[in-house]
Structures are given as structure tokens and as C-alpha cells.
Amino acid sequence: MVLAAAVQLEAVLGDVPANLAACETLADEAGRAGARIIALPEFFTTGIGFDDSLVDAALPPDGAATTLLTTLARRHRALVGGSFLCRDADGHVRNAYLAATPEGVVGRHDKDLPTMWENCFYTGGHDDGVLSTGEYQLGAAVCWELMRSQTATRLRSRVDLVMTGSGWWSIPPWPPRVVFDRWEHRNAATARAVTPAFAKYVGAPVVHAAHAGDLTCAMPWLPLKYRGRFEGSTMIVDAAGNILAERGPDEGQGIVYAEIEIGRVTPLLDVPDRYWLHPRGPLPSVVWHYQRWHGRRWYRREVARAPR
């Protein structure tokens, strides 16, 4: 059995130094508690929202985010992972999940498809998300990758541990409130359900770190502001999908801990023959398509740069 820790972060949108400092403080707390697996959230350097501050917040592959991960891994003799906006030598930005051990970075997974307004800030990757720590196979997946059958298929029965992170937005309380509140109730339930279900599809324990706290930002092409929050649902589950530790969105920033047994088992659920593992709901379905269309054009204009 190994003590695992998952960090729930209240990031400062676009403030890389502040977020790196907060992650180091929380990860150090986890390391001192004896955690030998430490998961940071998706976008742990920046948070995520539709905000211009993220355009210049991407870091190089060997920059401050990677330095933090490798430093923490050495300091605490731990496996440490998290994702950040990473600008590669080809001029493109990707949502790169890096995992590090005391020996250094053991692998990288680029999120395959940006979600909604994330399309404005990075382009997708094509790897299978299977990394080797030297002792066992590690699966990496990020946020709505946990929602898609293709992710479960590529990791299923191939990994002994899955490390994930998310920045999952709530549905704002727009009128008619009775409708949007109902949609948000379902959205929050889905955000909480994906991690235990993913363990059952893949057949491995999952350590999931998430964002919490409020978010206010612009809405692409709409004269409205987004005012909502991150759904949290930081948790650690075993290979059978049992929740061993959980921190809800109302609990704010902090850490969850649990002893886990690393190793793959026979998956309890078959991957369904459909694109989505879970229903998205009406508003997320619409926003998925329109913000994807908008974001890809915005990215080419504002973010992608010619190689130096």
C-alpha cells in the first residue's frame, strides 16, 4: 500500500508565480505527511477561464512548472504529476501532463481535445497517455478525457495507476433559474461521478486533483460574463471505483489522502460503444460545439506562433 495525495487548488487566474507557490506549499504538506504519490490539478500554473492573461502564461517544456514537479519529486521521494499550458518548440501550446519521479520526468501526455473555451489556448495531442515510472505503468488523463470512451479504451488493462486532473466549470445561474439550476445539479453530479466510473472502465486506482473556487470571465461571442465556480470533486478511488477520500468544491483548497494498492485488475465495466461515457447535458453540448469553432480560430490568431 502507498499513501497518495491529491491537491485541490484555488488558482489565481493567469498568475503563474502565485500558483506555483501555492502548489509547492500544498505538495510539501503532502510530502511531509508521507505521500509518495502527489497529484496536482490540470492547469496548475494558471487556472482556466476565457481570459487574455493565459495567452502569455504558457511555459516551455523545461520551464518553471517542470522544475517544480522534479524538485518536489526529489524532495519527497515521490511520484508527482500535473498539467500546464506548455509552449513547445514548434510554436504551439499544449495541455501537457508531466509525471516526475526522483530520477526526473518519466513521461508526458498531451490532452487530446481541448474542452470548450480551452480551444482558445492550446491544441490537442495524439499520444496514448501510458507512461512508465520504471516500476509500473502509469496512465495520464485530463478532465473531459475522463468523459470519453476513447480514453478508457486506450488505458484499459494497460496501466497500474491513473493520475488525473481537472478544471470543471459549473453551469451559471442564468434565467430561467429553475432550468439552469436543474442543469447545474446534473453537471455537478457528473463531475463527481466520472472518477469512480473511470476506475471501473480502466481497472486501476485513480488519483484525481481538481480546482475549486469562484470564476468570473468573459463568454466568447456573448454579451454576458461567466460567473460560476469550479466543481472540485478531488478524490482518490481504488481500482473497483470505491471512493477512498474526497474533497468537495465547498471545502476549498486543500489535500485528500488515501492508502492505495497500485496494480491493475479486471475492469468492472465494459467501455460502451458510444463517444461519451456520460451525458453532457443540453448547455454543455451546445457550448462544446460553438466554443470549439470559435476557439480554434482564436487560437490561430492569438496564440500559435511560428517556431523560433
Separation in Å, CA 80 to CA 5, 7, 61, 192, 220: 10, 11, 16, 23, 34
Check pLDDT > 80 for residue 7: yes
- Model confidence over 61-107: pLDDT tens digits? 999 999 999 999 999 999 999 999 999 999 999 999 999 999 999 99
* pLDDT value for 307: 76
- Model confidence over 185-203: pLDDT tens digits? 999 999 999 999 999 999 9
Distance CA 221, CA 256 (A): 38
| Region 162-174 average pLDDT | 96
Separation in Å, CA 265 to CA 271, 272, 286: 15, 19, 37
CA angle 38, 83, 150 (to 5 degrees): 105
- Model confidence over 229-268: pLDDT tens digits? 999 899 999 999 999 999 999 999 999 999 999 999 999 9
Neighbours of 103 (CB within 10 A): 11
Check pLDDT > 80 for residue 51: yes
CA angle 9, 62, 33 (to 5 degrees): 40
* pLDDT value for 94: 98
Separation in Å, CA 208 to CA 149, 156, 157: 18, 17, 19
Distance CA 280, CA 228 (A): 17
* pLDDT value for 305: 86
Distance CA 204, CA 247 (A): 20
Query: How would you class 149 by CB atoms within 10 Å of its CB: exposed for 0-12, middle for 13-18, buried for 19 or more?
Result: middle
* pLDDT value for 96: 98
Distance CA 33, CA 30 (A): 5
All structural domains of the chain, each given as residue ranges with its CATH number in brackets, are 2-302 (3.60.110.10)
Q: What's the pLDDT band for 46 if we cut at 50, 70, 90?
A: very high
- Model confidence over 105-139: pLDDT tens digits? 999 999 999 999 999 999 999 999 999 999 999 99
What rounded mean pLDDT belongs to the chain?
A: 96
* pLDDT value for 283: 87
- Model confidence over 26-39: pLDDT tens digits? 999 999 999 999 99
* pLDDT value for 308: 57
Q: Determine what percent of the chain is predicted with pLDDT higher than 70.
A: 100
Check pLDDT > 70 for residue 166: yes
| Region 147-152 average pLDDT | 98
Distance CA 79, CA 19 (A): 20
